[in-house]
Chains A and B, each alone.
Chain A
Amino acid sequence: ETGVTQSPTHLIKTRGQQVTLRCSSQSGHNTVSWYQQALGQGPQFIFQYYREEENGRGNFPPRFSGLQFPNYSSELNVNALELDDSALYLCASSSPLAGVYEQYFGPGTRLTVT
């Protein structure tokens, strides 16, 4: 069974630029959630995708957007990067069947905005 994978591992961008982060869900999982984790904090929910549709969104501005593809992989796009966007971006996959809601995280993408 293949786990959740993310790319790239690390990324350095300049303020105002745009970035795309990628995630492949665990085999058999059809739901992908994205989280932002600042240093010393718990992960914060950005949004979730189920069957290629956004299925819930946290308190993040519209410059955070996403996509899910037919193979359940997903992208997170962030436009007009700000210094505060520097964080670990986590993707989690799940398959909410029969009341089972465990989410499994990928290794994350460390984004630094300078």
Chain B
Amino acid sequence: QKEVEQNSGPLSVPEGAIASLNCTYSDRGSQSFFWYRQYSGKSPELIMSIYSNGDKEDGRFTAQLNKASQYVSLLIRDSQPSDSATYLCAARTLNTDKLIFGTGTRLQVFP
């Protein structure tokens, strides 16, 4: 079982819709979670971090964490074609700074 799992996609949504990206993790010791966006041929760019159960909003992005279900999600409202990229979910375990990444979900936003 992979430590952080994501559906590889592609997830296709129309412009203006809400894109919902999901991630599950296996290590209950995981404390902090991060969403990165990676355009083809580029390095990952940090979008959101979340440490506590519940929702965290930043502009068009909302991260959701449910530690009991070991589930993290990222919602992108009013999706734009420029949001088309691979979204990586990462988990950090207690007392380490090591990030464990999923394989990423490819998002396609079509006009």
Contact = CB atoms under 8 A, between A and B. Distances in A.
Interface string A34-62: 01000011111100101000011010000
> What is the size category of the interface that chain A forms with chain B?
20 to 34
Nearest to A43: B101
Given A42-B102, A42-B104, A101 B46 contact: no
A107 B43 contact: yes
Interface of B is mostly: strand
Interface in B74-111: 88, 90, 92, 96-104
Contacts of A99: 51
Given A42-B88, A108-B43, A102 B34 contact: yes
Interface of B: 4, 32, 34, 36, 42-46, 49, 51, 88, 90, 92, 96-104
Given A33-B99, A43-B44, A101-B49, 7 more contacts: A40-B103, A42-B103, A43-B88, A43-B101, A99-B51, A105-B36, A107-B43
B97 A48 contact: yes
Contact of B46 (A41, A48, A103): A103
Contacts of A96: 97
A68 interface: no
Nearest to B48: A102
B97 to A, nearest CB: 6
A26 B88 CA distance: 21
Contact of A105 (B45, B51, B100, B102): B45
